Amino acid sequence: MIDTFKALADVTRLRLVGVLSKGEFTVQELTSVLAMGQSRVSRHLKILSDAGILSVKRQGTWAYYRLKGDNQFFLDIWPTMEQSLNSVANRERDLERVSEILDSRRRRSLEFFDRHARQWDDFSRNLLSVPSYLAALLNEIPVCRVIVEVGVGTGNILASLSRKAPKVVGVDHSPAMLDEARLRVGQEGLAGIEFRLGEMSHLPLGDNEVDCLLLNMVLHHAALPERVFQEACRILAPGGRLVIADLQRHDQDWVRDKLADQWLGFERTELEAWLAGAGFSCARFVPVYGTVGQQGVFILAAGRIED
């Protein structure tokens, strides 16, 4: 308790706690938010980390700091403390800079996919090889009324999804990608397909509107993956199903530049923590390992907990 109070008894460290309550950020991003030198910010991060208030997630050569480490006392007082963060000095300015960083993450991804939409299928397949997983992924998608694919891209599995539901909605933040998907739907003569422009953290759908939500190789592009899970819970009907295919944790830093990846894959423990926090129960987690030179993926199926 004393160590916790000592760690928190500093305005800069309170500002860091307030910023990290909004997501995971690198040291470079935190120095930008606080407008301080890296050595100073790193010193305060070390104090908070040593006290178990923060934890660090390594992603290749990058390190992301996140709130809530292994300090149980801090976890106990956090709900009360969170209500008082608005009184911390520079709070409004810090939140504005956090918003700018998240917007920058989203904008970088959008610009990348708009630029590569026409050749995306070949482009991504040639740069990052993954094992065959689509058959297993489709097996997790139930026959239902409404399926939404977030990050629909060029629409390469819309035909398969249309055999599962009479209404399929494809959402993407890239207008160029949606144009490619519409072209494919027209060429294949598919019916019951709708397209909507939107972000995965702010989906253009109503509450409880969807029976199954699919995220196929898009979560690693999310500015804040935790928020994506919360948004998925909002639009899914009670008992609805969330199905995800994505990369297992890896250390291939080059994908940040070549494929605009924000995250180098995910670990099961962090996914399950996000699921539980958003209101899901994890039904299945299936790792899919490739041959030499292929990046492993996983398939996750979860159900929204009944109200």
Side-chain-facing half-sphere of 290: CA atoms under 13 Å:
15
CB burial of residue 178 (10 Å; 0-12, 13-18, 19+): buried
- Between 116 and 73, the more confident residue is 73
pTM (whole model) above 0.75: yes
Res 307 pLDDT > 90: no
- Between 239 and 59, the more confident residue is 239
| pLDDT band, residue 123 (cuts 50/70/90) | confident
Looking at CATH, the fold of the domain delimited by 2-89 is given as Arc Repressor Mutant, subunit A (1.10.10)
Tokens of 264: 């180098």
| pLDDT band, residue 39 (cuts 50/70/90) | very high
Tokens of 285: 């987690």
**Beta strands 297-304 and 210-216: pairing type?**
unpaired
- Which helix (H) or strand (E) segment holds residue 69: the answer is none
Evaluate whether 261 touches 255 at the Cβ level (below 8 Å).
Answer: yes
Neighbours of 233 (CB within 10 A): 22
Residue 202 DSSP label: B
Q: How far is CA 135 from CA 86, 251, 263, in A?
A: 49, 27, 25
CATH C-level class of 120-304: alpha beta
Res 120 pLDDT > 80: no
Strand order, beta sheet including 54-59: 25-26, 62-67, 54-59
Residue 129: closest CA among 292, 257, 299: 292
Q: Where are the domains of the chain?
A: 2-89, 120-304
